[in-house]
Amino acid sequence: MADFERRIPEGDNRERLVCATCGFIAYENPRIVVGSVVVHEGAVLMCRRAIDPRRGYWTLPAGYLEQGETPEEGAAREAMEEAQAGIAIDGILAVFSIARIGQVQVIFRARFADPARPHFAAGPESQEVGLYAWHEIPWDDIAFPSVRWALDAWRQSGTGPLGAPFGNPAQDRRGVLRMPQAPSGAL
């Protein structure tokens, strides 16, 4: 059985998970989540989660970047897996830090690959998928604070060219708060 202990490997300066028997070092680096705000005629593509955590709550198509993918490719794969949507990426809308759980999120703004025939449907990880105008967004049932941050960034960015990416909101600069925030829709 793998027999991991926490110690500082030679030449390093912080504790790592090291197998006491074979010396295998399981580096635990932050992970990259890639996702997208897919916009069509002023509405945004959202997915109701069919899996834990936050099953039944609403999110954007997003997930962990996999080896060998660019962030853009990862975001497109997630849109296909979770919403069966082919997308075309505009650019980076936001970069969020969720230091509490070791995540960096790169959120793109995107369109449907064929805007004349937008296609979407629930993938295996979604109960339901839909396009929502700002005031139709199910604000009371958002899965994660960063979903709201991304939606706020989309609203502030407008429809023109993308500028500097949005970052964490002022009330949680490092991404360490656990508490859900007041719904943006209620502001």
Rg (CA), the chain: 18
31 vs 119, beta carbon nearer a copy of itself = 31
* Minimum separation from the CB atom of position 1 to a copy of itself (A): 4
Q: Map residue 70 onto helix, strand or coil.
A: coil
Q: Please identify, using beta-carbon distances, which residue of 26 and 121 lies nearer to a copy of itself.
A: 26
In the numeric block, which tokens belong to residue 87? Answer: 């997308």
User: Measured from the CB of residue 168, what is the shortest distance to a copy of itself in angstroms?
Assistant: 8
Shortest distance in whole angstroms from residue 124 CB to a copy of itself: 9
**What is each CA distance from 36 to 1, 81, 94, in whole angstroms?**
40, 13, 10
Q: Least separation, in Å, of the C-beta of 51 and a copy of itself?
A: 9
> For residues 67 and 159, which CB has a smaller minimum distance to a copy of itself in the complex?
67
Torsion of CA 131, 136, 141, 144, to 10 degrees: 60
Smallest distance from the beta carbon of 185 to a copy of itself, in angstroms?
A: 27
Q: Contact residues for a copy of itself (CB under 8 A)?
A: 1-4, 14, 19, 21-22, 24, 26-32, 64-73, 91-92, 95, 97, 99, 102, 104, 106, 161-165, 168, 173-175
Minimum CB distance to a copy of itself smaller for 101 or for 121: 101
Q: Tell me the two tokens of residue 59.
A: 């999110």
**Would you give the end-to-end CA distance of the chain in angstroms?**
53
Measured from the CB atom, is 73 or 132 closer to a copy of itself?
73
Amino acid identity at 84: Q
Cis peptide before 53 (omega within 30 of 0): yes
